[in-house]
Structure 1
Amino acid sequence: MTAFFSAAPSYCARLGVAVVLVALADFLFYGQPAGITVFLFAILMAAAVVAVHPAAFSDGRLWLKPVALLVALLPLAENVSALSVSTALAAMIVFALSLSGRLRHRIARIAGQIALFGLAVPFRLIGDFIRWRKTARRFGRRRVRLAAIAVWVMPLTLGAVFLALFGAANPVIDYWLSLIDLLKLLDLIQLTRIAFWLFVLACVWAFLRPRLPRLLRRIPRAMPPAAVSAQSEKTVTTIEDILFGKAAILRALVIFNILFALQTGLDATYLWGGVALPDGLSYAAYAHRGAYPLIVTALLAAGFVLAALRPGSAASADPLIRRLVYAWVAQNIMLVISSILRLDLYIGIYALTYWRVAAFVWMGLVAAGLALIIARIALGKSNEWLLSANLLTLSLTLYAGCFINFAALIANYNVDHSFEMTGQGISLDAWYLRSLGPGAFPALDRFLDHQSRTAAANDPVFRELAGLRGSDEGWYRTLQQSWRAWSFRDWRLLAYLDTRGPVVVPDASKPYVPGR
């Protein structure tokens, strides 16, 4: 019974902190634009997590954890996006688990904990409530009976009657009662708002009580090792030797190296050497058809290397096989580089998009993963080390991506390489530029300024685009009037817009005159 009463304040204190955070979330987010408020709320939630884990203060290196968390939350101050929010959530999960003493010490295992934490978030509050009710019943606390509620019916009913009578007899009370708008109070009860409260409460509670579900239990073996017959063991060994033995791996590596050398030679001839392609095949088609399949090929090759050269196996210790693996992985890296060049050629003809930027990043990560495979084999590391190294590379890449304005990057590239600006290539898809959002304003302004000095100034489509550019800026400035929407990126963009001044729509009554 003592354990229950000692645990109850902990639950109550956490619930009180969670309610306060829900109220703050309602003030900061509900019906409001997301900006610096996301960063502020993350800081407040981190402080709440520290407050409900007083035992963490005994750790002499406690200050390192908030500093690391602050670094991970900085992308939220730069710009609120799916990438920065995901980075912040992962950092918050690691921070909460570390304070509760449940964080693992390997990057691969930490990644698994983050995934399990995310899966458990919707059920943590419900599970803790059910557990608390069971504990209350175990120690003699019963549910509130109907009689305990019924005793309030008569006092509240008569109290309402007396209040109504006092209102009829007293003008002051009648005035006070007239100020109470019951319909207005009912309007405040919105299903969407209640759903928002419950969603925030469930998320906040998971961080205040960071626990991981025990999804995996020890599964007993179907039969003890002694029950396996010698004949079955001999059969398994023989099949393994045939399929994945040294001889099979050696032959596979020789064949794979020859095939990859052929592909590398073709890329060196047509992509690097500039030799003319066969009739009917353009460089754009050559680049587009090969970029993504080659990445899939590299991934399959990486999977084969990991499966064939397991740490401690006979194949991984063979010097000839190791040299062939090094040569093959090096060819795979060249394959990825060729894929990057193919994609660059394709973008040079068909412009840049979000998906093509993502493809560049993905290809770079594949090349880094292949290099890490060589490092794993050369250094004799485990597959868990390789997974941790790849996760670390991915995490650093995503964190750096939070500070890159991809919309501005895409818009500037497409404008600078458009037919209108250079006289070659394809025409600019200005409507796609507009769909990129406010980040594309500077590049779009350069394009509109250039077009306003050409015969295109008389084009109705150009005038429509210029008019929409002005209305988009008006909408953006209205949104930024709320302090909740502030971010460093928006602050820099507003400074540019203030320096540039309002957008001027060309006058259709004044035709374009060359030389003016």
Structure 2
Amino acid sequence: MTSFFTAAPSYCSRFGIALLLVVLADFLFYGQPVGITVLLFAILIAAAVVAVHPAAFSDSTVWLKPAALLVALLPLAENASALSVSIALAALVVFALSLSGRLRHGLTRIARQIALFWLAAPFRFVGDFIRWRSTARRFGRRRVRLAAIAVWVMPLTLGAVFLALFGAANPVIGYWLSLIDLLKLLDLIHLARIAFWLFVLAGVWAFLRPRLPRFRQRASRPNHVPAAQPATNPQVHVIEDIVFGKAAILRALIVFNVLFALQTGLDVTYLWGGVVLPDGLSYAAYAHRGAYPLVATALLAAGFVLAALRPGSETSADPVVRRLVYAWVAQNIMLVISSILRLDLYVGIYALTYWRIGAFMWMGLVAAGLALIIARIALRKSNEWLFSANLLTLSLALYGCCFINFAATIANYNVDHSLEMTGQGIPLDAWYLRSLGPGAFPALDRFFDHQDKTPAAGAVRELERVRDSDESWYRSVQNNWRAWSFRDWRLLRDLDSKGSLVLPQLSQPTAPDR
């Protein structure tokens, strides 16, 4: 019974904090543009987590955790995007688990805990509510709760009567009461808003009660009942040793090195050496057909290396096999670099897009993963070390991407390499740049300035008018402080410095395609 009384205030206080966060989320987000408010709400959640875990301050290094969290939240100040929000959510999970003493060591275990946290988060509040009700009933608290509710009926009823009398007697109070429109308040409450409240409540409650799901293990067999041993077939082991043994792996590595050397030689000849391709084959087709299959080949090769050179196996200790693996992985890295060059040639002809930037990043991560495989073999590390190293590499890459304005990068590259600007390449797809959003405004302005000096200036007048309408809509959104971000602040400063045209605010602005 003591545990219930000690737990009840904790539940009540956390529920009160959760309701306060729901009210703040409604003020910051519902029906409002998204911007700096995401960072503010993340800081509020972190402060709430600290408030419900006061015992964590007994640790002398506790201030390192908020400092690390602040670094993880910095991308939200730059720009509130799906990537920066995902990083912030993962950091908040680690922060909450750390303060509650449930965070395990090692990147692999932490990644597993983050995944389990989000799997359990939607059901955490419902599960805790059911558990709280069952605990209250077990200790006979049901009648007390009903009495606690009923005891407020008389004071609230008489209070409402007295308030109405004061309103009739005092004109000031009467004026205040006249400002309260109950029907208007009821209009604000609809299904979408209630769903938003429940969604936020479930989310913040998971941080206030950071628990991971527990999976029950199967009951072990009694000691007196021997477990059935699988039947062994010596012939099967002999076949496995022949097909996947050291001799087979050695021969496979020799064959693979020869095949990859042939492919690398062709890339060096045609891509790096500039030798003329066979008739009917262009550099663009050569680049496009080879980029993605070569990355798939490198991933397949990485899987083979991990399977063939398992830590402690006979093949991993053989020096000849290790040298062949080093040579083969090095050739795979060359193939990935060749794939990057192929994609660069293709982009140089057919312009840049989000998908092609993603392909560049993916290829770079594959090359880094192959290099880490060599490091794992040379340093005799475990596969868990390799997974943690790749996870760290991916995390750093994604964190860095939060500070890159890819829309501006794509727009600037396509404008600078367009047929209209350089006399080479393909015509600029200006409507695609418009779909990139406000980040493409400066590049489009440079394109329009250049086109105004050419005889074909009238061809872009319609797009220029749409561009001005988009900027008017963008500025109207930025007038709301909730939409502020450091990236938008820089963009507005650049637009103002260049004297960009600002149209009057439209009654029904058309948002640019995303």
TM score, norm. by length of structure 2: 0.91
Measure the CA separation in 2 of the matches of 1:225 and 1:276: 72
Cα deviation for residue 209 of structure 1 reads 0.7
Partner of 1:414: 414
RMSD: 2.8
Measure the CA separation in 2 of the matches of 1:58 and 1:433: 54
Cα deviation for residue 20 of structure 1 reads 1.0
Which range is displaced more, 354-363 or 274-283? 274-283
Distance 1:380 1:170, change over 3 A: closer
Distance 1:187 1:504, change over 3 A: closer
Mapping of 1:409-448 within 5 angstroms? 409-448=409-448
Distance 1:152 1:202, change over 3 A: closer
Partner of 2:478: 480
Mapping of 1:471-510 within 5 angstroms? 471-503=469-501
Cα deviation for residue 175 of structure 1 reads 7.7
Which one-letter code corresponds to 1:492 in the other structure? Answer: R
Measure the CA separation in 2 of the matches of 1:376 and 1:235: 33
Partner of 1:204: 204
Which one-letter code corresponds to 1:467 in the other structure? Answer: R
Aligned partners of 2:108 and 2:387 also within 8 Å: yes
What per-residue deviation string (whole Å, max 9, x for no partner) do you get for residues 446-472 of structure 1? Answer: 00100011112122xx11111111111
Aligned partners of 1:36 and 1:77 also within 8 Å: yes
Aligned partners of 2:471 and 2:502 also within 8 Å: no
Which one-letter code corresponds to 1:496 in the other structure? Answer: D
Partner of 2:509: none
Distance 1:149 1:75, change over 3 A: closer
SS at match of 2:413: helix
Which one-letter code corresponds to 1:489 in the other structure? Answer: R
Partner of 1:295: 295
Mapping of 1:82-93 within 5 angstroms? 82-93=82-93
Partner of 2:468: 470
TM score, norm. by length of structure 1: 0.90
| Residue ranges of structure 2 left out of the alignment (5+ in a row) | 504-514
What per-residue deviation string (whole Å, max 9, x for no partner) do you get for residues 95-128 of structure 1? Answer: 1111111111110111111111111111111111
Measure the CA separation in 1 of the matches of 2:97 and 2:49: 10
Partner of 1:274: 274
Partner of 1:345: 345
Aligned partners of 2:369 and 2:390 also within 8 Å: yes
Aligned partners of 1:311 and 1:380 also within 8 Å: yes
Measure the CA separation in 2 of the matches of 1:158 and 1:375: 77
% identical equivalent positions: 79
Distance 1:483 1:379, change over 3 A: same
Cα deviation for residue 11 of structure 1 reads 0.7
Aligned length: 501
Aligned partners of 1:469 and 1:503 also within 8 Å: no
Distance 1:333 1:402, change over 3 A: same
Distance 1:219 1:378, change over 3 A: farther
Measure the CA separation in 2 of the matches of 1:13 and 1:147: 20
Cα deviation for residue 62 of structure 1 reads 0.2
Which one-letter code corresponds to 1:142 in the other structure? Answer: R
Partner of 1:380: 380
What per-residue deviation string (whole Å, max 9, x for no partner) do you get for residues 46-69 of structure 1? Answer: 111011001101111001000000
Aligned partners of 2:76 and 2:85 also within 8 Å: yes
Cα deviation for residue 500 of structure 1 reads 1.0
What per-residue deviation string (whole Å, max 9, x for no partner) do you get for residues 263-291 of structure 1? Answer: 11111111111111111111111111111
Aligned partners of 1:288 and 1:346 also within 8 Å: yes
Partner of 1:232: 232
Aligned partners of 2:37 and 2:482 also within 8 Å: yes
Measure the CA separation in 1 of the matches of 2:150 and 2:44: 41
Measure the CA separation in 2 of the matches of 1:22 and 1:457: 53
Distance 1:263 1:225, change over 3 A: farther
Which one-letter code corresponds to 1:480 in the other structure? Answer: Q
Mapping of 1:36-55 within 5 angstroms? 36-55=36-55
Measure the CA separation in 2 of the matches of 1:194 and 1:3: 33
Mapping of 1:245-324 within 5 angstroms? 245-324=245-324
Which one-letter code corresponds to 1:471 in the other structure? Answer: S
Aligned partners of 1:97 and 1:103 also within 8 Å: yes
Measure the CA separation in 1 of the matches of 2:414 and 2:432: 10
What per-residue deviation string (whole Å, max 9, x for no partner) do you get for residues 411-455 of structure 1? Answer: 000000000000000000000101111111111110010001111
Partner of 2:193: 193
1:57 aligns with 2:57: yes
Distance 1:6 1:158, change over 3 A: closer
Cα deviation for residue 154 of structure 1 reads 11
Which one-letter code corresponds to 2:462 in the other structure? Answer: E
| Residue ranges of structure 1 left out of the alignment (5+ in a row) | 506-516
Distance 1:446 1:504, change over 3 A: farther
Which range is displaced more, 216-225 or 400-409? 216-225
Which range is displaced more, 174-183 or 270-279? 174-183
Cα deviation for residue 243 of structure 1 reads 3.3
Measure the CA separation in 2 of the matches of 1:72 and 1:153: 48
Measure the CA separation in 2 of the matches of 1:264 and 1:222: 59
SS at match of 2:142: coil
Measure the CA separation in 2 of the matches of 1:222 and 1:322: 45
